[in-house]
Chain A
Amino acid sequence: MTHEDPRAILGVSAEAGEEEIRAAYLRKVKEHPPERSPLKFERIRDAYETLRDPRKRARLAFLAEDPLRPLPSLLEGIKTARLFVGPEPWLEVLRKK
């Protein structure tokens, strides 16, 4: 039973596959090796073990969202439109200090 979102601990998205999860795990273990930060390492290992288990991952897939999360957090990861405006507005910034 894990009580923190394992994907948040490893910093992977809900759609992350096995390879991405493993890469994130190895990266995190490098950041927090067991001999230097044993508790953080435990948490990372637990998160990885949860995510590598396809059954637990399947459960997380539909239990992850918090229906009472603060509404502004809905904007996390949202992609706003990016517009092409030609070179002039960009060069304008360069001309003025």
Chain B
Amino acid sequence: MEHAKRLLKDLPIRVSEALLAEAYVARIRSLNERGLALEAQALLEYVSKRFPSSSAVLDTLYATTEKRDDTLAELVRPLSQPDLPEEQKAHIERALRRELVDPYALAQCPSLSADHPLRKAATAAAQAVTAATRGPGRDEEIALPEISLRSPLAPWKLLVRAIALFYRREDDACAQCLDAIDPDSVPARLVPALRAALSGKSDKTLTTPSAGLLSRIAKTTTATRDALQSLDSALKSGKRGKIFEAIRRAVEQCDQDVPDLLIRLRQHLAIRGAIADLPADRVREAMGGSSRKDASFWRLYALAAERAGSPAEACLHWEQYRKHALHEGLLPPDGLELAALYGHMATILGRMPEPLLKQAREQIPDLGRYYADQPPEILAALGNEKPGKPDPAFLSPDVLYRRSCAIDADPELFHAWMEAVKNPEGYGKAADEVAHAWHAAAPADTRPLLFLMESAEARGAFKKALDYLEQAERIDSLDPAVARARLRLMVASAMQHVKKRNASLIKKDADALETLPPTREGRRSAFPIALRWVSAALRCDQTETRRLQDETYARLENPFAGFVLLKSLAAAGKAPPELKPEPGEKLVQGIAQACALVADLKVCVEIPPQWVPALKQSLPDGARSLDLSALRALAETALDDEYEDLAYATSGIGLARGGPLAARFLLLRAQCLSSSDRYSTCLRAAAELARQQRDESVIEEAMDLLDEEEILPPWAMGEKPSPMSLEEAHRVLEREKNDLAYPAPDDFDEEDDGDEEDLPLPPGMHPELLPVLAEILEKYGGLPDPRELERTDPKLFREIGRILFGFGR
């Protein structure tokens, strides 16, 4: 054998391998002849693994190396000797690990005394196997403290524990035990079957006895899985006969393998049937009964209706979900979940114009048919209410927001409620009422008061606005939003006086502003001086005008900044400054500074058109010393003044800088572009980056711009397309950073004027809506206001309602 080994090492070819295998075969035969069956067996296993190509010869040996009980007795006999060398003991124990197929045989072994520790351990192991496999074994029956981790029976201890854990459904712990079993030991032979049982799937690689065991101890879900897969395919095919047959098979198989899933499966099938427009009675027949109309059913149905672009129908189902979930204890009566549900319903209805909602309230369908064959516990959820028409209040966003906010004064919901009722200018009586309700529910929150302040300011009621501001200051004068509001309100009041050319009030405003700490900071201190300049100019006090002009320029340390500031005030007060500096050094810094200053104070500013060419030229060098807020203000002002190329270049510099305003600069970059794929991509990426940077204002602005991009009105749309991933947003950011050249007009994507039939259905849009919208577009050349449509074309209007609410289905 040694020669054969050497030969194989020197000449590793198949003939050498075969020769060594033959030598091993001879050795195995010799061991068998000497009665050393266990050794023979061990060597045979090693050779089988090492030389799989010699399996034919080796197979014949298996028959002659089977171990007999008397062999076991012979094997363990030396263990009774007190002076047994460690090496021999270890050899016997190794053989036991690899050969012992039933601890009961060892427990009965006559060559060991009855009180020998190994025999006692084997007895305990045999009893534990029985206990673990016959029923839920008690801890003490399966603990096996007699068997240490070093014992030859240690794999049996792990096996017993794995079996017990399997039946106790502690699957992770069971898998850990299986991992720990010595793969060369006999108990390892059960590992594949147990793993398959844990997975609940059949395994075609299992041996026949393992597969037999698996089929007896655990029901697998493979057949049900296959049936459900076929049903999915049938539903996709749309062939009714095939669908009903697949439903029958899936329900039958599920009932057999996983009866606990049957209720849920029927609910899913009923809803799939409704989506596929299948006759409900035939679906019911194929399912062998009705689906249970509990909270789970209505929730699924509501989600499906939302997906299908039927918000009112979704709310009808959510309302049913609410009743059943309250009855089933899934929603606590005054819990956050209920508030969240009302809020969600209000949000999805928020996209619908009131005329369509009114129509929906008038057309609420009778839900009696859903409850026709339901058990009493389901009907009990409805209380005294007949399962006919539910209260139409669930179709009023205002009612829903009110209910939600009464349970939970969630600022987000109050904000959403206010957004829903604002007039086109962003304020209005209804919004004020919500703000009052918000303030009543959360008196320590300054936000509703600041909104009321802005609302009052927007209608010119400065005194009222100041009252609200003072209330907010009493709550938290250190709140940055409150501090900013005070400054902004005073500036707004001053600008009103500038517009009215009231020199004495402007001077008073300047005095008052100078007492505010934020106005004394940095360059902001130039603003009150500039106001005094306007006052002096209006009084035609030329000496004072010149002095204040010089002081403004000096305070800003930049004549260009001073000029832009004075010009913006002068434009409002119709009193132009005298001196216009020629473009020169620090032009970029000066304009950016002025833009940042007035943007901060919400005063309109204009870049002098004559300076724009010089500004563009000096931008790359001049922008180096600008901080991010000045860069942002410059880009925003350039955009407002319609110098898109200048805004594009400035946003590019901001993008290259990175940092906390990356999302803002990407939004600005988008705004420099005409409506195109690149425009929407930048907006979506900006929204995603803003989410990462927690910049709520960028998210809101980007989402609003994306909404404006939609060809269809919000009520015609279902779900919004999936937002962009963060990785993709970063890729867009990198691409935009490197795209330095402002696109020529030809580079913008042209509007797709292709055939309308080629347009894909917008995601989530109800399929029946497309032809109706096409008809409206053809008739009216655009989408008229729903109120107008209700008046001029009631038939078409009703048709839209029918599709959107699905009530007619």
Interface assignment of A8: CB less than 8 Å from any CB of chain B: no
Interface assignment of B189: CB less than 8 Å from any CB of chain A: yes
Instruction: With CB as the reference atom, state the residue of chain A lying closest to B411.
Output: A55
**Which residues on the A side are within 8 Å of B264 (C-beta)?**
74
Q: Are the C-beta atoms of A87 and B304 separated by less than 8 Å? A: no
Q: Are the C-beta atoms of B341 and A62 separated by less than 8 Å? A: yes
**Which residues on the B side are within 8 Å of A39 (C-beta)?**
726-727, 730
**Which residues on the B side are within 8 Å of A3 (C-beta)?**
722-723
**Which residues on the B side are within 8 Å of A18 (C-beta)?**
none
**Which residues on the A side are within 8 Å of B691 (C-beta)?**
1, 46
Which of A54, A74, A87 touches B265 (beta carbons < 8 Å)? A74
**Which residues on the B side are within 8 Å of A78 (C-beta)?**
200, 221, 258, 260-261
A94 CB, nearest partner CB in chain B, Å: 5
Q: Are the C-beta atoms of A67 and B307 separated by less than 8 Å? A: yes
**Which residues on the B side are within 8 Å of A43 (C-beta)?**
726
| Residues of chain A in range 38-87 having any CB-CB distance to chain B below 8 Å | 39, 42-43, 46, 54-55, 58-59, 61-63, 65-68, 70-72, 74-75, 78-87
Question: Contacts A65-B303, A80-B258 given: A54-B133 contact, CB under 8 Å?
Answer: no
Q: Are the C-beta atoms of A93 and B190 separated by less than 8 Å? A: yes
B267 CB, nearest partner CB in chain A, Å: 10
Alpha-carbon gap, A80 to B224, bound state (A): 11
Q: Are the C-beta atoms of A81 and B219 separated by less than 8 Å? A: yes
B94 CB, nearest partner CB in chain A, Å: 17
Question: Contacts A39-B726, A68-B307 given: A94-B339 contact, CB under 8 Å?
Answer: no
**Which residues on the A side are within 8 Å of B167 (C-beta)?**
82, 84
Instruction: With CB as the reference atom, state the residue of chain B lying closest to A67.
Output: B304
Interface assignment of B250: CB less than 8 Å from any CB of chain A: yes
Interface assignment of A92: CB less than 8 Å from any CB of chain B: yes
Instruction: With CB as the reference atom, state the residue of chain B lying closest to A96.
Output: B209
Q: Are the C-beta atoms of A80 and B207 separated by less than 8 Å? A: no
Alpha-carbon gap, A14 to B727, bound state (A): 27
What total count of A-B pairs have CB within 8 Å? 156
Q: Are the C-beta atoms of A94 and B189 separated by less than 8 Å? A: yes
B360 CB, nearest partner CB in chain A, Å: 21
Interface assignment of A30: CB less than 8 Å from any CB of chain B: no
Which of A55, A87, A93 touches B336 (beta carbons < 8 Å)? A55
Q: Mark B700-739, 1 if CB is under 8 A from A, else 0.
A: 0000000000000000000000110011001000000000
A25 CB, nearest partner CB in chain B, Å: 17
Alpha-carbon gap, A89 to B321, bound state (A): 48
Instruction: With CB as the reference atom, state the residue of chain B lying closest to A70.
Output: B232
**Which residues on the A side are within 8 Å of B344 (C-beta)?**
59, 62-63
Interface assignment of A97: CB less than 8 Å from any CB of chain B: yes
**Which residues on the A side are within 8 Å of B193 (C-beta)?**
93
Instruction: With CB as the reference atom, state the residue of chain A lying closest to B218.
Output: A82
Q: Mark B277-293, 1 if CB is under 8 A from A, else 0.
A: 00000000000000000
Q: Are the C-beta atoms of A72 and B336 separated by less than 8 Å? A: no
Q: Are the C-beta atoms of A74 and B228 separated by less than 8 Å? A: yes
Alpha-carbon gap, A72 to B250, bound state (A): 10
Give the residue among A3, A70, A74 with the most B Cβ atoms within 10 A: A74
**Which residues on the B side are within 8 Å of A72 (C-beta)?**
225, 228-229, 232
Alpha-carbon gap, A39 to B300, bound state (A): 33
Question: Contacts A71-B268, A72-B228 given: A94-B166 contact, CB under 8 Å?
Answer: no
**Which residues on the B side are within 8 Å of A1 (C-beta)?**
691, 699, 723
A7 CB, nearest partner CB in chain B, Å: 16
Interface assignment of B770: CB less than 8 Å from any CB of chain A: no
**Which residues on the A side are within 8 Å of B268 (C-beta)?**
67, 71, 74
| Residues of chain B in range 211-261 having any CB-CB distance to chain A below 8 Å | 212-213, 216-221, 224-225, 228-229, 231-232, 250, 257-258, 260-261
Q: Are the C-beta atoms of B271 and A80 separated by less than 8 Å? A: no
Interface assignment of A36: CB less than 8 Å from any CB of chain B: no
Q: Mark B304-317, 1 if CB is under 8 A from A, else 0.
A: 10010000000000
Which of A55, A62, A66, A93 touches B210 (beta carbons < 8 Å)? A93
**Which residues on the A side are within 8 Å of B784 (C-beta)?**
none
Q: Are the C-beta atoms of A54 and B213 separated by less than 8 Å? A: no
Instruction: With CB as the reference atom, state the residue of chain A lying closest to B703.
Output: A1
A3 CB, nearest partner CB in chain B, Å: 5
A69 CB, nearest partner CB in chain B, Å: 8
Question: Contacts A67-B307, A79-B260, A92-B213 given: A62-B321 contact, CB under 8 Å?
Answer: yes
A85 CB, nearest partner CB in chain B, Å: 5
Instruction: With CB as the reference atom, state the residue of chain B lying closest to A54.
Output: B336
Q: Are the C-beta atoms of A68 and B304 separated by less than 8 Å? A: yes
Question: Contacts A78-B258, A79-B260, A83-B218 given: A65-B299 contact, CB under 8 Å?
Answer: yes
Question: Contacts A3-B723, A55-B408, A96-B209 given: A84-B135 contact, CB under 8 Å?
Answer: yes
**Which residues on the B side are within 8 Å of A70 (C-beta)?**
228-229, 232
Q: Are the C-beta atoms of B218 and A71 separated by less than 8 Å? A: no
Q: Are the C-beta atoms of B340 and A80 separated by less than 8 Å? A: no
Q: Are the C-beta atoms of A79 and B169 separated by less than 8 Å? A: yes
Alpha-carbon gap, A57 to B435, bound state (A): 26
Q: Are the C-beta atoms of B303 and A58 separated by less than 8 Å? A: no
Which of B219, B275, B336 touches A58 (beta carbons < 8 Å)? B336
**Which residues on the A side are within 8 Å of B343 (C-beta)?**
59
Interface assignment of B197: CB less than 8 Å from any CB of chain A: yes
**Which residues on the A side are within 8 Å of B275 (C-beta)?**
68
Interface assignment of B590: CB less than 8 Å from any CB of chain A: no
Q: Are the C-beta atoms of A91 and B101 separated by less than 8 Å? A: yes
| Residues of chain B in range 165-203 having any CB-CB distance to chain A below 8 Å | 166-167, 169, 186-187, 189-190, 193, 197, 200
Alpha-carbon gap, A84 to B197, bound state (A): 13
Alpha-carbon gap, A68 to B187, bound state (A): 44
**Which residues on the A side are within 8 Å of B207 (C-beta)?**
93, 96
A5 CB, nearest partner CB in chain B, Å: 13
Interface assignment of B494: CB less than 8 Å from any CB of chain A: no
Alpha-carbon gap, A3 to B684, bound state (A): 13
Q: Are the C-beta atoms of B221 and A80 separated by less than 8 Å? A: yes
Interface assignment of B163: CB less than 8 Å from any CB of chain A: yes
Q: Mark B381-414, 1 if CB is under 8 A from A, else 0.
A: 0000000000000000000000000001010100
Interface assignment of B80: CB less than 8 Å from any CB of chain A: no
Instruction: With CB as the reference atom, state the residue of chain A lying closest to B207.
Output: A96
**Which residues on the B side are within 8 Å of A66 (C-beta)?**
303
Which of B102, B335, B340, B410 touches A91 (beta carbons < 8 Å)? B102
Q: Are the C-beta atoms of B189 and A86 separated by less than 8 Å? A: no
Interface assignment of B129: CB less than 8 Å from any CB of chain A: yes
Interface assignment of B134: CB less than 8 Å from any CB of chain A: yes
Interface assignment of B692: CB less than 8 Å from any CB of chain A: yes
Q: Are the C-beta atoms of B307 and A58 separated by less than 8 Å? A: no
B4 CB, nearest partner CB in chain A, Å: 26
Alpha-carbon gap, A17 to B113, bound state (A): 55
**Which residues on the A side are within 8 Å of B134 (C-beta)?**
84, 86-87
Interface assignment of B130: CB less than 8 Å from any CB of chain A: yes
A26 CB, nearest partner CB in chain B, Å: 18
Alpha-carbon gap, A89 to B133, bound state (A): 9
A84 CB, nearest partner CB in chain B, Å: 5
B132 CB, nearest partner CB in chain A, Å: 8
Alpha-carbon gap, A6 to B756, bound state (A): 39
Instruction: With CB as the reference atom, state the residue of chain A lying closest to B269.
Output: A71
Interface assignment of B645: CB less than 8 Å from any CB of chain A: no
**Which residues on the B side are within 8 Å of A62 (C-beta)?**
299, 321, 325, 337, 340-341, 344
**Which residues on the B side are within 8 Å of A79 (C-beta)?**
169, 260
**Which residues on the A side are within 8 Å of B336 (C-beta)?**
54-55, 58
**Which residues on the B side are within 8 Å of A81 (C-beta)?**
218-219
Instruction: With CB as the reference atom, state the residue of chain A lying closest to B45.
Output: A97
**Which residues on the B side are within 8 Å of A46 (C-beta)?**
691
Contacts A/B (CB < 8 Å), 18 sampled: A55-B408, A58-B335, A62-B344, A65-B303, A68-B275, A71-B265, A71-B272, A79-B260, A81-B219, A82-B166, A83-B216, A83-B218, A85-B217, A92-B212, A93-B210, A94-B102, A94-B187, A95-B102
Known interface pairs A67-B307, A68-B275; 12 further A-B residue pairs with C-beta atoms within 8 A, sorted by A's residue number: A1-B699, A43-B726, A55-B410, A67-B304, A74-B261, A74-B264, A75-B200, A78-B258, A79-B169, A87-B129, A87-B130, A91-B129
Pairs A-B, 4 closest by C-beta atoms = A71-B228, A67-B304, A58-B340, A58-B336
